[in-house]
Chain A
Amino acid sequence: MRIQLFGTCLVDTMFPETGEATIRLLRHFGVEIGYPAGQTCCGKPAESGGYTRESRKAAEHFISVFEGTDGPIVIPSGSCASMVKNHYPELFKDDPLMRQKAEIIASRTYELTQFLVHVLKAHETGFLGNGRITYHASCQLTRELEVREEPLLLLQSIDGAEFVHLPHADRCCGFGGIFMAKLPEVSMALADEKLDTILSTGADTVTGGDHGCLMNIGDAIKRRGSAVQVKHIAAVLAEGLR
């Protein structure tokens, strides 16, 4: 099977190891990976900021880069995947031609854990690991894409690691894209609250499907001087390939 990987701008710019982990993970399950070279950012920051014109530009670019490719489009981020699946068609609601293109792209798109569970059945093979892991259920992944069980199935299939549920796992961590920059005080307070719940689980690693949130949680951990590790779910799983 061949897929197209959209790396996301955060992975591309700040967390390339997550992109590499995603590639190892998918290849392990026999997936051939295409990486369209023209890709940039999905446009989410513009969309959530209310910059419709700019988000349309990003969407048009994304569509033009991916429409000539084939196979599923896999994205290691809930918010970027939701942008493509939910918001792209909306952005072109008054433009039938673009809307149709956006819908085709949307229907090809999977968030990484969705793809791992529903297409590759990776949770059935399972993974190896160690330590105590907890999971932050990021907002767009959980509520916009309704991907709730998939990450848990994957994490619970790790042999050797203990998975612990995070209390109020689906509460916002305070990242919120531009929110983080516009109301940093509130954002940090929310991240601190999230960290409190993480610490209450006794986990040594917190994982999730969105680097935006993980970055915000990571900052709270750094400010507090905690030893908890923050890892994208792709990295957690790629480390434990059987």
Chain B
Amino acid sequence: MSDSSSSIPFRANAATALRNSTLRAAMRNATETFTTKRADAVAAFPLEEWREQVSAMRLHVLDHLSDYVDRFERNAARSGAKVHRAKDSRAAREIIASILKDHSIGRVVKSKSMVSEEIHLNDYLQKEGITVVETDLGEYIIQIAGEGPSHIIVPAIHKDRRQVGKLFAEKLGCEYSDDPAILTGVAKKVLREEFLSAKAGISGANFAVADSGSIVIFTNEGNGRMCTTLPSLHIVILSIEKLIPSLADLPKFIRLLPRSATGQMITSYLSVITGSREPGESTGAQEMHIVLLDNGRSGIISGEYREMLKCIRCGACLNACPVYRMVGGHAYGSTYPGPMGIVLTALLEGMERAYNLLDATTLCGACGDVCPVKVPLPKLLRRLRASRVEQGLTSRTEQQAMAGFGKMMKSPMLFHLGQTAGHVLWPAIRGFGLDRTLGRMPRPVFKTFRERVS
């Protein structure tokens, strides 16, 4: 058993979340909406065929990832972008901070990026004296609330409009309202000024195109476009597995990603950005930097969890997950929540930190069913559970119980003895404080089925 202080206390976090009725109502409403819309959006769509194709394409990219990264780097450089490779979070943070410092920039606008969350970019830049303004509405809300995202595409999914109204009134000094249109107007006004005065913008990327050196961003609010075109400096942070071979591969994702994520046919904005502004061009940043983050991915590719890297971060598995729906994203205590988040946290942050998260699945299989790129999430979760046992990271009691179970399985006599013991000892169960676990099962019968048939 390892030092439990380093591990995420999922059960306690979940229990706290379950007592929060606002959170539960918000989660119920949002996930209900997304799952229904997704189901409608894929109903008249040759989903299975597309999933197969896209999955095969993602695997192909993973098989040749270093080639595609090289190709992307060459083509992005040719179009005027500077490409930086970062082997881990720290390297990525330092590269970004030094670019900003070189330009004497103290304030930067940012569009939504889960990779930036993964490397804890904002905290770092803040410590370096650089203010980051999140411009995605959800990200902006949680930034002023001092929280992290609780969903990979809907970061403020856990909040309802009344909470946002109170937050805005308190932090921005505006009049209280719970009208989403008014609240959006308030944020828009603040953010417009930020966009217009910003000297640098940071964005993530949904995909990066090897053949053209382009980065692709799907957004619904237009903030991504402003962050990447209005300031003279644009920094992109993306992880290496986001590569796709060519622009011809993009349409498949344009159709699958929004459908899986929010049930939209397409996102409101779709930006393909190739390099910095060239002479004669009227838009785009004058200087573009692309930071390619590895952070353990090269290692994951060669191992038994490689299929996790097919993930395109749509969030469908979160919405479909019964556990996530009940407790929300913060309970996972990690950058990435839900089924994909459990697997990624174990892979990126290590089993010592993630092992409790492996309890946070009923293995119901709903995540695997909705994944647009066929990441075999239930299989990966099972494999991680087996690995947790191999590493001795389950409780001593559980290990002993399972060892006993293993012996009973092989011996009908011991098995029957166990049944009898269960019957006899059952009334004592509550005395052991097990009423919420074993006590929720009925008492083992006196005369078992085997005795009745034989």
Compute how far the CA of A234 lies from the CA of B103 in the bound complex, rounded to whole angstroms: 73
Q: Which residues 163-187 of A sit at the B interface, judged by CB distance below 8 A?
A: 170-172, 174-177, 179-186
Chain A positions 131-173 with a Cβ under 8 Å from a chain B Cβ: 139-140, 143-144, 170-172
- Tell me whether B454 and A181 are in contact (CB under 8 A): no
In the complex the two chains form, is A186's CB within 8 Å of B409's CB?
no
Q: Which of B14, B366, B409, B422 contacts A183 (CB 8 A)?
A: B14
A182 to B401, CA, bound (A): 14
Q: Determine if B440 and A172 form an interchain contact, defined as CB atoms under 8 angstroms apart.
A: no
What are the residues of chain B within 8 A of A48 when measuring CB–CB? 363, 382, 385
Q: How far is the CA of A209 from the CA of B452 in the complex (A)?
A: 21
Residues from 40 to 76 in A contacting B, C-beta threshold 8 Å:
40-41, 43, 45-54, 57-58, 60-61
B interface residue count range (under 10 / 10 to 19 / 20 to 34 / 35 or more): 35 or more
Taking a contact as CB atoms under 8 Å apart, the answer to whether B369 and A16 are in contact is no
| Majority DSSP secondary structure for residues of B touching A | helix
**How distant is the Cα of A12 from the Cα of B441 in the complex, in angstroms?**
14
Interface members, chain A 75-112 (any B CB < 8 Å): none
B362 pairs with A175, CB closer than 8 A: yes
Is the C-beta of B101 less than 8 angstroms from some C-beta in chain A?
A: no
Residue of B nearest to A22 (CB): B449
Give the interface centre of B394, B406, B436, B454 by most chain A CB atoms within 10 Å.
Answer: B406
Q: How long is the Cα–Cα vector from A14 to B405 in the complex, in angstroms? A: 17
**A114 interface residue per 8 A CB criterion:** no
Residue A31, interface by CB 8 Å: no
B386 touches A52 (CB 8 A): yes
User: Majority SS of interface residues in chain A?
Assistant: helix
| C-alpha gap A6/B11 in the complex (Å) | 35
| A4 at the binding interface (Cβ < 8 Å) | no
Interface centre among B386, B394, B450 (most CB of A within 10 A): B450
**Given pairs A16-B452, A37-B412, A40-B409, 13 additional interface contacts (CB within 8 A):** A12-B448, A12-B450, A14-B443, A16-B447, A37-B450, A38-B412, A39-B412, A41-B415, A50-B394, A52-B386, A179-B359, A179-B361, A190-B323
Which residues of A are interface residues toward B (Cβ below 8 A)? 7, 9, 11-16, 19-20, 23, 35, 37-41, 43, 45-54, 57-58, 60-61, 139-140, 143-144, 170-172, 174-177, 179-186, 188-190, 193, 215-216, 218-219
27 pairs of residues in contact across A and B, judged by CB atoms under 8 Å = A7-B450, A7-B453, A12-B448, A13-B448, A19-B449, A35-B453, A38-B412, A41-B405, A46-B405, A46-B406, A49-B389, A50-B358, A50-B394, A51-B405, A51-B406, A139-B363, A139-B365, A140-B365, A143-B364, A144-B365, A174-B362, A181-B438, A183-B10, A189-B326, A190-B322, A190-B362, A215-B442
